[in-house]
Amino acid sequence: MNYERLSIGTSRDVVARVDLARKQRLGMPEAIYAQSKTTQEVVEIVHHHLLSSGDPVIITRCRDDVVEEIKVIDDVDVDRIHIFPDPIYESSYRTVVIGEAEPISSEVAILTAGTSDLRVANECKGTLFALGINAKVFADVGVAHVDRILEILPELYYFDVVVVVAGMEGALASVVGGLLPQPIVAVPTSAGYGSSFDGLTALLAMTSSCAQGVSVMGIDNGFGAACAAFRVVNKVSSSPTIEALS
């Protein structure tokens, strides 16, 4: 059995099956998606991770009240809690990482078409941090003034993977995909008005791009973009064992 059953509170029903073998199989630890969970569920799952694994714990889509409860979990060293974006900035949700990963000698650039896309970019940056990858965010470089992307283009050549986060019509992914040779991971966001349809227009535009070889995530999926970038840059020293795959 590659997971551990977890009941919450006084309930005897299993509400979580914690996958502690994911790091062994994939090189990436399991993440906790907080947005649709109660605060108690998140706290107890986090606590179980801390007791059972030495890997960094990733919690995505955290409300501020959930962040505060995570800080006071027993045996949590506040100095080892990393929050994206920093709490001094207003945010509808945050990515929380407890612990640090072994660094990987690769760098990822995260571009946002607009300031409204930063919430997704921060989820990507926080997840990359938990995976040991340094990331730099270049905010508000969208095609409404294309000189903005051209201005930073020389610097972007030095990154191993480029993540493009864009709402509206999602055009930035095509522009970047036509200018840079690295792997490009595109993330459509739900930011936009008119006929953006909560990110559907950007998603369809990105999957219809004529820029060759652009990989596209689901709407607002900064976490998935970080994991895709990790798969590209991670140096796998050996194949998974039969036991890990069984």
With 0-12 CB in 10 A as exposed, 13-18 as middle and 19+ as buried, what is 43?
A: buried
CA distance 117 to 120: 6
Q: Are 235 and 27 in contact (CB under 8 A)?
A: no
My answer on whether omega of the bond before 85 falls inside 30° of 0, hence cis, is yes
**Kind and range of the H or E element at 162?**
strand 161-166
Which phi and psi (to 5°) does residue 201 adopt? -60, -45
Kindly give the confidence (pLDDT) of every residue in the chain, 246 residues in length, as a single tens digit, with 9 standing for 90 and above. Answer: 455 444 455 455 546 666 665 766 766 777 889 888 888 888 888 887 777 777 788 899 998 888 888 888 877 777 788 889 888 888 888 899 988 888 888 899 999 999 999 999 999 999 999 999 999 999 999 988 898 999 999 999 999 999 999 999 999 999 999 999 999 999 999 998 989 899 999 999 999 998 999 999 999 999 999 999 998 988 633 345 445 544
Domains of the chain: 1-100 (3.30.1370), 102-235 (3.40.50.1970)
Residue with tokens 């008005």: 193
Angle between helices 222-233 and 118-130 (to 10 degrees): 40
Q: Is 160 left (phi over 0), alpha (psi -120 to 50) or beta?
A: alpha
Q: Give the contacts of 82 (CB within 8 A, at least 6 positions apart).
A: 96, 97, 98, 100, 126, 129
Pairing of strands 31-33, 57-62: parallel
176 φ/ψ angles, rounded to the nearest 5 degrees: -65, -40
Which pLDDT value is given to residue 47? 81
Whether residue 143 contacts residue 172, with contact meaning beta carbons closer than 8 Å, is answered with: yes
- What separation in angstroms does the CA of 68 have from each of 39, 65, 182, 200? 10, 5, 39, 33
Q: How far is CA 133 from CA 56, 97, 106, 227, in A?
A: 13, 13, 6, 11
